[in-house]
Structure 1
């Protein structure tokens, strides 16, 4: 199966919504993507789709976040969320390809790190480790092992610590 990973186009919006609704079994994540697409957190180069035979079968979104320390220093990072693959295409490496392409693109355009709230056995294969390693905390109560960060460049989180502040659009989910 040939899969093309590419930046989303405006014509993909409906298909991206359908992928997210099917993957999550509800409209919340699809609505979140739409809200984020129209926010200052949106990075057009980091909304990627997986396409096979002309059909969108997967989507990943990375958006800007801040990490704010106790001295009110603000550090820019990215959130990986959501990642969605149509159910009939899951467990075929499409999600992993989307994530890896997104991490590579984020590094290429100058981002230093990414934060994810996700499964503690899946994301470490991309280099994610508990964010607490850098004294980076979530803004809500989640298990330490599920809140992770990855440095996109060596020492990308050096001297970065604090609480993650997501785009306000995340509050809709």
Structure 2
């Protein structure tokens, strides 16, 4: 299994993967629009030994109360059905955590499954006084502090880029 940064040749395989994993094409359209609009901070793929893209995750900027602090939103994370439950998503996240921290991005938020994301270090954002811009279940909106101490005293509403409003 190889984990690497997205290359131009990966765009269509990523699109196909996202359309196969999610119930609608919304995530695939979102990633394409974020990419086209320059809102991609980090996009990683996991490739099989044969070179097939079998996993993908994508990060884009978020703000806290309208202020850009280099925080990132994870959306989406996808692994091809027959490759799920093999640790690929967690391996993608571990690589992403290290890369984002090295690039100076101290915090990541995610709106996702509360039974999955804590496995890679996410905690409820509400425990840190952070809320999502949309009305979502409290346990589904989570935060991960990459640079220790960054969340101290930081509260407010996390806002995603405008491309998410079209979902």
Q: Hey, what's the Cα distance between the residues in 2 that align with 1:91 and 1:57?
A: 12
The answer for the alignment partner of 1:47 in structure 2 is 43
Q: Hey, what's the Cα distance between the residues in 1 that align with 2:125 and 2:64?
A: 11
The answer for the alignment partner of 1:66 in structure 2 is 63
Q: CA RMSD in A?
A: 1.3
The answer for the alignment partner of 1:15 in structure 2 is 13
Where does structure 2 lack aligned partners over 5 or more consecutive residues? Answer: none
Higher relative strand content: 1
Deviating runs (4+, > 6 A) in structure 1?
none
After TM superposition, give the deviation of residue 150 of structure 1 in Å.
0.9
**TM-score, structure 1 normalization:** 0.91
After TM superposition, give the deviation of residue 75 of structure 1 in Å.
3.2
Query: After superposition, where does 1:81-160 map in structure 2 within 5 Å?
Result: 81-160=75-154
**TM-score, structure 2 normalization:** 0.94
Aligned length: 166
Q: Hey, what's the Cα distance between the residues in 2 that align with 1:162 and 1:118?
A: 19
Q: Deviations for 1:100-143, whole angstroms, at most 9, x for unmatched residues?
A: 21111111111110001111121112111111122111111111
CA contact (8 A) 2:64 2:157 kept: yes
SS of equivalent residue, structure 1 residue 37: helix
